[in-house]
Structure 1
Amino acid sequence: MQANILTLNSAIKKPFELAETSAKMTISDVFAERKGTYINEFTLFIAHFNSIPNFIHEVDIDCEKANIWFSENYKSEIKDLYYDKRYFNRSKKAEIDDVFYFLYEDLIVNIDTQSSEVRFLYRKTELPKVEEIVNSIYKFKKRKQRQAPKISLLVNYSRGIGTKSLKITKPKLRIEDNYNEDFKEIH
């Protein structure tokens, strides 16, 4: 994924000049706290566009795949981007966490890999353009794994009460084995 980001940087024709776009607030305000990330997307939007954004929030997205797809398919639309790479879970390699893409008039697409969330902030960008991207990103929604049913019993141990979990298996039942032969005809 690192290669995609680096090639995108060379595709940006003219990055934003922060002196022009963030005149209404100090640049340090852009770094307001948001669950440990280095840029707060709302204050970033206000700093660049000086208005309160409309906001769409998608959760449970496979952001690594979505980021690669997005950077390839919207390469010509991307005006600028910011990203951060961090070490997670004591890994030996830094991974991309937040990517902020700037598109169209005032659309910011924030792909947050660690939270599996994608945020869309916009004000003047036409809603059909935004919804097209949202629907495309939605294709990368993570499917929830169905959890096996289980039941927990309270157990009295020598040191106190605890629980013991038991798996529940689906029984193979046949109606014919448990009811009279005429049961199906009646019901």
Structure 2
Amino acid sequence: MSGHGFHVHGPHDHAVEHAAHSNDKFSGNIAVTTAILATVGAIFGYQGGATQNDAALFKNNAAIAKTEAANRWNYYQSKSAKQNLAELAMTLPNVDPEKYKADVARYKEEKEAIKQDAEKWEAKSAEWDHESDHALHKHHQWALATTAEQIAIALAAITLLTHRKWLMYGTYAVAAVGIGLGVVAAL
């Protein structure tokens, strides 16, 4: 639509407008059905977008936890290197091994705490990955439900244009499948 009063409407728009201003019950029912399906489809689309965002957020959290685990493992490796150097120093000639025994024991103890911390972060990363996969699965279910509602809306438009009763039943069937998929996604 432009600012000069020139309007271009598609055949579906004209048919819906005509149905709204006539006593044609068939067209009126299809117009109402289309509006209901559009509303349900919008809700399903919103839910699909929300679960997709959740999946991305959870995957990001998994990556952060994995990075933190890698940092801990690097710290563990540095303690191992220091322990190895202390053990090597104990074997050198003219060196008092007792001087390095305490360092070796301390590094062993520190490494155990660091290892547990790294494993904790790895487990947290795996949990976030699982949450992300679950949310992405939900997103796919919402996307299927939305697609079915969109197909039902398209069938309703064709029904309105052709006045074929069998297409109306097809519209209702596809809409019911979409609603069923939405219920499954919600559960």
Band of TM-score, shorter chain? under 0.3
Who wins on radius of gyration, i.e. which is larger?
A: 2
Higher relative contact order (CA 8 A, sep 6+): 2
Bigger helix share: 2
Bigger strand share: 1
What TM-score, normalized to structure 1? 0.24
What TM-score, normalized to structure 2? 0.24
